[in-house]
Amino acid sequence: MLTDDDGRDQPLVAAYRTASLRRALADLATEHAEQGGHAGRGGLTGLPLRRLTGALRLTRLTDPLASFDCDTWEDIAHARARIREHGHVLNEWITAVKNELGIELDVDTRVLLDAARDVAHGVARPAAPLTTFLIGYAAAQGKGDAESVAEASAKVADLATRWEAEHGGGGSAPDAG
């Protein structure tokens, strides 16, 4: 489980062993029922998460950049600034890649990211980067301009939507690839 700079546990940023978690949940449900709580489905609703994590043997790792609380408006403003930083890093990376590859084309990266998202969710995660390559290849075979990238991205987004509808959902689960 990660802890923040102040040493506070961040239980939503953790990896738990399934068997240990199920055992702790069952024990907590039994304990809660014995104390007059409701047993069965939803019987643990409203209990603090720390009651569950307190029953687990956890290794804690401090990583100030991996998580941050949003308990106050100041925390939210800080979180939003950090999220914007990631967008800045993406823009810097794309610029560096274009310079390295000698590409002068300016494209709307949101269109490509949206297409990759649609493919990852509607088809399978591993298909997303391969698909964005194919979008670029198709655009290069056409006029090779930003409009060609946008057109190819739109076609792929439509295809991903149809694929998901025809094949019963995407393979966005971790083992989808």
- Over residues 123-138, the mean pLDDT reads 91
Domain count of the chain? 3
Contact indicator for 13, 67 with CB cutoff of 8 Å: yes
Q: How far apart are CA 102 and CA 148, in angstroms?
A: 18
Q: Is the pLDDT of residue 42 over 90?
A: no
Residue labelled with tokens 């088809």: 123
Q: What is the domain extent for residue 81?
A: 68-104
Q: How far apart are CA 153 and CA 141, in angstroms?
A: 14
Angle at 88 between CA 125 and CA 64, to 5 degrees: 80
Same domain, 14 and 77: no
Angle at 80 between CA 4 and CA 122, to 5 degrees: 95
Q: Alpha carbon of 101 to those of 70, 97, 112, 160: distances in Å?
A: 40, 6, 18, 29
Q: Is the pLDDT of residue 159 over 90?
A: yes
What's the pLDDT tens digit per position in 9-24? 888 888 999 999 999 9
Same domain, 72 and 112: no
10 Å CB burial of residue 98 (0-12, 13-18, 19+) is middle
Same domain, 123 and 96: no
* Element at 3 (helix H, strand E): strand 2-3
Q: Is the pLDDT of residue 176 over 50?
A: no
| Structure tokens that stand for 26 in this block | 């069952």
pLDDT (0 to 100) of residue 174: 42
**Domain termination site, one of 62, 77, 94:** 62
Residue labelled with tokens 């694929």: 163
Contact indicator for 114, 157 with CB cutoff of 8 Å: yes
Same domain, 99 and 112: no
Q: How far apart are CA 67 and CA 77, in angstroms?
A: 14
Q: DSSP label at 27?
A: H
Same domain, 157 and 95: no
What's the pLDDT tens digit per position in 65-116? 666 667 788 877 877 777 766 667 778 878 888 888 888 888 888 888 889 9
Q: How far apart are CA 122 and CA 163, in angstroms?
A: 7
pTM tops 0.75, yes or no? no
Split at pLDDT 50, 70, 90, the class of 152 is very high
